[in-house]
Amino acid sequence: MTGVDVSVVIPAYNAAEFLDDAVERLMRQTIAVEIVVVDDGSSDSTARLGAALAERHPSVVFIPLAVNGGVAAAREAGVEASSGRFIWFVDADDEWVTNAAETMLAAADGLAADVVCAGAEYLSVDGTRRPVPSLQPGAVDGATAFKAMLLGRVSGHLWNKLFARRLFPAISFTRSRVHSDQAMVAQLLVAAETVAGIRDTVYTYRLRSGSIIRSNTQRAQSLEQVAAVVRDCARRVGAGDGRELDYYTARFSLLSRMKDATSGAYTEQESRTLVRTARGEMTPSVVLSLARAREPHRLALLVAARTSMPLYRRIMSSRGARE
């Protein structure tokens, strides 16, 4: 599809239940978009549906992958097959507003931005909604936006962001089982000259009980891969030993790794090894970053994880413990 401004990449693994509807909704965007469907070696009818959609609609490009390589590999294949000036990533089972592409593109062109961060929300299984952290309205440089991500003020999600095609040769598509999008966002922000934030809420991410992130699967390797990418990005912008990286390490790396290590997905010996490794990274500056951020619950969790596993488990099992 030549002359298109926005290519929408949909990585699809066993997504037959949602794919038709997702493509139909994307074709109702208020500007014409190229829709790139990548079947990630599905075992259901995703490949057949994707091929049929591409045959029926000139705006749909279908890329079948022979084996399941994970969402990062599917996204990389989608970017390579796309032709738009900008790339937008969506998941087939989520929701978005009809003018999402137009709204983000207008901000990108109006502010000469390489990345646009729009508003978004989480939709829980029980129907409750809560906002996704996003960049404040206006334009900043990529390093500033990346540091905001380290502090949790910009989410590491792809789907509420628009990215200039020119940025992608500068990044690696980290093959982690979980949080590969966080590694991509970090690299894309650092590669960007200008990042724009807009107030408009364009995307609704549906939290589902069966997702990988919410199940007791082994995530240690993935969490370490992503953290290594983020640390490298921090060094590139001069934040490799700063407070922003300490906070990211505490909140997004170590607390996640402790939760993973005690999830029951490992043998007792494996769990002890993972806990010991994580504790070695709980430096005073990392722990104090949560105190500076005035986050007593997370601070208590990290201190307990460092000093007393029984106390840590009690806090985690108490009402409201989610880290």
Q: SS3 letters for 165-214?
A: HHHHHHCCCCCCCCCHHHHHHHHHHHHCCEEEEEEEEEEEEECCCCCCCC
Q: Flag whether pLDDT at 323 surpasses 70.
A: no
Q: Flag whether pLDDT at 167 surpasses 80.
A: yes
Q: What is the mean pLDDT of residues 72-99?
A: 97
Q: What is the mean pLDDT of residues 305-315?
A: 95
Give per-residue pLDDT as tens, 230-275: 999 999 999 888 999 999 999 999 999 999 999 999 999 999 999 9
Burial 42-52 (b: 16+ CB within 10 A, else e): beeebbebbee
- Residue (of 84, 133, 141, 132) closest to 112 by Cα position: 141
Domain ranges (residues) in the chain: 1-93, 96-162+169-212, 241-317
Q: What is the mean pLDDT of residues 215-234?
A: 91
**Tokens, residue 234:** 């921090």
Portion of the chain with pLDDT greater than 90, in percent: 92
CA distance 151 to 153: 6
Distances (CA, A) of 170 to 164, 165, 186, 190: 12, 10, 12, 10
Q: Would residue 168 be called left, alpha or beta, if left means φ above 0 and alpha means ψ between -120 and 50 degrees?
A: alpha
Give per-residue pLDDT as tens, 27-83: 999 999 999 999 999 999 999 999 999 999 999 999 999 999 999 999 999 999 999
Amino acid at 181: D
Q: What is the mean pLDDT of residues 118-146?
A: 96
Fold of domain 1-93: Spore Coat Polysaccharide Biosynthesis Protein SpsA; Chain A (3.90.550)
CA distance 289 to 310: 23
